[in-house]
Amino acid sequence: MRSLVILISGRGSNLQALLEANLPVDKITVISNNPQAEGLAIARQYHVDTLVINHRDYPDRESFDTALAEKIDACQPKLVALAGFMRILSDAFVAHYTERLINVHPSLLPAFTGLNTHARALQEGIKIHGCTVHFVTSQLDHGPIVIQAAVPILADDNEETLAARVLQQEHRIYPQAIRWFMQGQLELTGNLVKVHQANTRDIALHSPGLQE
């Protein structure tokens, strides 16, 4: 069974993009560490199974990650996708899902790892920004890159306008990366990802920005 587990903490914007993408999966389960996450309501609208594992119920990160992994493993997922999951995962958790754990990050990695990527991009005065889908490793935001999309930084951009334009691209590339994985088109060799049967232009997308 091609089962997908999606982990969320908040509003569920990328979750909704995934649920609307008609992915080649047999079952989707959404798990949140936040009982108030808006994404849970979105999942229910799409008749997707949901689970809540409140991290506040556990004394430390390791015990929460252990409980989370038990719930995930019960779903027998082929892939686990982080979609706004605001928890730093333990090394043991990441190792347990080696090459089966994927994330979308709002920058062109390896630039601007971590938080506040849009503000930092504006402060640095760079001209091109974007987003990256990558496999998760123990090194934060440094896993093998599957696909990226770039947007220009415009003269009148602020953090909110830039974030909105990047998010639009996240909604494009995250479903594509998961589709490739589920169809067996991704090959990992060290830190490199080869995408079989895909055009080069599909792996690195460029958004003109002014036209969207």
To the query of whether residue 134 is one of the catalytic residues in this protein, the response is: no
Query: Residues 105, 118, 129, 134: which is the catalytic one?
Result: 105
- How far is residue 124's CA from residue 134's CA, in Å, rounded to a whole number? 23
The CB-based long-range contact list for 206-209 (8 Å cut-off, 24+ gap) reads 206/149, 206/150, 207/130, 207/149, 207/150, 207/151, 207/165, 207/168, 207/169, 208/152, 209/151, 209/152, 209/154, 209/165
Helices 117-124 and 159-182: crossing angle in degrees, nearest 10, is 120
DSSP bridge pairs for 50: 30
Q: Which residues are catalytic?
A: 105
